Amino acid sequence: MCLGFNKKMNVQKTLIDWYLGNKRDLPWRNTTNPYYIWLSEIILQQTQVAQGLPYYTSFVTNYPSVFDLASANESEVLKLWQGLGYYSRARNLHASAQYIANDLNGEFPKSFSEIIKLKGVGDYTASAIASICFKEKTAVVDGNVYRFLSRYYGITTPINTGKGFKEFKAMAQDLIKTVDPATFNQAIMEFGARQCKPKSPECTVCPFNADCAAFINNEIDNLPVKLKTLKVKKKFFNYIVILSQDNKTMLEQRTGKGIWQNLYQFPLIESNKPADYETILQEVEMLDYVKSETLELSLYNTTDIIHKLSHQHLYTKFWIATVNTDLPEGIPFKKADTFPVPILIGNFIESFNF
């Protein structure tokens, strides 16, 4: 798409003027240190500012430099990340920190094409870092950018397709050509987040309402267009919380490919339908560290806890298995909350209060 020169200038200026008058004071806006910008951008992937903010503060405090992050162990990083979700971000962040510290002598890569090679860094994040830290004219395309551009120009191409990405990237790239890229990128995102919101955008006081295609044509609620593919699977999780005579329980690390990789959990019995007491009892008796003749099993939560993820609903029961024996391989109850665990487990540990 080729935009008229004057109209384009006006869009750039309006966005930047709005930003300078309305931007939030956020900690990562007071630095251009690529380590901190990188940290903030990874944390903010698919995450609202309000949710990510305390994690950013925590990571900056615990790991003031890339060397501090690199020398931490992965479980410690995952523990700090606990509750934020998408844990591959934490694993990739840690791995990339080690790469930067050890292979690049702590020197952060300085161009889009080098930055995007880092694990966990895609087009959006590389554009953000390159523009904010190194003034490179690479336009960001995130959810906010899709929304503003699709509405203002009335673009109906689905945003979650390869064609959509290329079209919106080209449009944003065209807009960023002649302006300060760091300010422009943050302006268009902030505008999408606070003014051109997904629901109930502030159109009556919007500086673009005179020539916004979606507003003029009453299409605000229909843009951007997104193809929906979601099909949610149901799973049934049974967590076995062992209480031993020597005040220990069992935690295992998830090593498989799926969700919560490398996080910890109680021994899990998964089934494709709701499990009954007898079935669980038999399964628990077969666990090699449980002595069957001393086992007492009871259901902790009478109604399933339904933990909702994007692609699956986990119907969860916590079973308390009390044994009259010691648990040499176990961990003390009191230390359960020092392990990185999914929030589903974390909530249980907190409520159970060992």
Return the active site residues: 41
Stretch binding DNA (CB under 7 A), from 58-66, 197-205, 296-304, 329-337: 197-205
Angle at 109 between CA 103 and CA 113, to 5 degrees: 120
Site for DNA, residues 48 to 77, rule: CB under 7 A: 48-51
**Residue 26, interface with DNA (CB under 7 A)?**
yes
Site residues (CB under 7 A) for DNA, limited to 252-281: 257-261
Q: Is the peptide bond prior to 328 cis by the omega test (within 30 degrees of 0)?
A: no
Span of 85-93, 172-180, 266-274, 321-329 interacting with DNA by CB under 7 A: 85-93
Q: Pick from 79, 94, 137, 147 the residue near DNA by CB under 7 A.
A: 147
Residue 122: CB minimum distance to DNA, A: 3
| CB of 4 vs DNA, minimal distance in Å | 27
Which of positions 224-243 make contact with DNA (CB under 7 A)?
Answer: 224, 226-229, 231
Q: Decide if residue 305 touches DNA (CB under 7 A).
A: no
Interaction between residue 143 and DNA (CB under 7 A): yes
Reference 8, options 169, 159, 175; nearest CA is 175
**CB of 98 or CB of 312, closer to DNA:** 312
Token couple for 304: 């399933």
124 near DNA, judged by CB under 7 A: yes
According to CB under 7 A, which one of 11, 66, 112, 125 is a site residue for DNA? 125
CB of residue 43 to DNA, shortest distance in Å: 8
Residues across the chain: 354
Using CB under 7 A, which of the segments 4-12, 140-148, 211-219, 274-282 binds DNA?
140-148
Nearer CB in complex with DNA: 143/330: 143
Find the part of the chain contacting DNA (CB under 7 A) among 58-66, 72-80, 157-165, 272-280: 157-165
Residues that bind DNA (CB under 7 A): 26, 28-29, 40-41, 44-51, 83-88, 92, 119-126, 128, 142-144, 146-147, 161-163, 186, 189-190, 192-193, 197-200, 224, 226-229, 231, 257-261, 307-312, 342-344
